[in-house]
Amino acid sequence: GENVEQHPSTLSVQEGDSAVIKCTYSDSASNYFPWYKQELGKRPQLIIDIRSNVGEKKDQRIAVTLNKTAKHFSLHITETQPEDSAVYFCAPTGNQFYFGTGTSLTVIP
């Protein structure tokens, strides 16, 4: 199966600072790259995604960048807010998808 790694595993930032989470994967067949946010006690929900024919996508304070050659994609959150505190998972998708190990983000007010 796919080998998916996320870094860092935990991240603390001051409110208003930026946060970056990186996901590396092994399956060259992956062509769809989503990021999910999971708040405590809730189900994972999609926050942003990108397809393999695009290098970058932005949605307000959230962006995703993809380097398909190097097999990694990153989540960028700018102007972080306390409500951004959650666990974030990448899930590169080809024939199926595997979750990364997760990054616990804490935004300190």
Partner 1 sequence: DTGVSQDPRHKITKRGQNVTFRCDPISEHNRLYWYRQTLGQGPEFLTYFQNEAQLEKSRLLSDRFSAERPKGSFSTLEIQRTEQGDSAMYLCASSFGTGGRMNTEAFFGQGTRLTVV
| CA atoms of 104 and 1, how far apart (whole Å) | 24
Q: Give which of 11, 6, 2, 10 is closest to 72, Cα–Cα.
A: 6
Least CB distance to partner 1 at residue 98 (A): 6
Site for partner 1 in 60-99 (CB under 8 A): 87, 89, 91, 93-99
**CB distance 105 to 86 below 8 Å:** yes
Q: Per CB under 8 A, does 11 bind partner 1? A: no
Q: Per CB under 8 A, does 51 bind partner 1? A: yes
Who contacts 3 (Cβ-Cβ below 8 Å, separation ≥6)? 25, 26, 27
Least CB distance to partner 1 at residue 53 (A): 8
Instruction: Give the x-and-dash track for 25-44 against partner 1 (CB under 8 A).
Output: ----x-xx-x--------xx
Least CB distance to partner 1 at residue 45 (A): 7
| CA atoms of 35 and 23, how far apart (whole Å) | 10
Given the rule CB under 8 A, which residues bind partner 1?
1, 29, 31-32, 34, 43-46, 49, 51, 87, 89, 91, 93-102
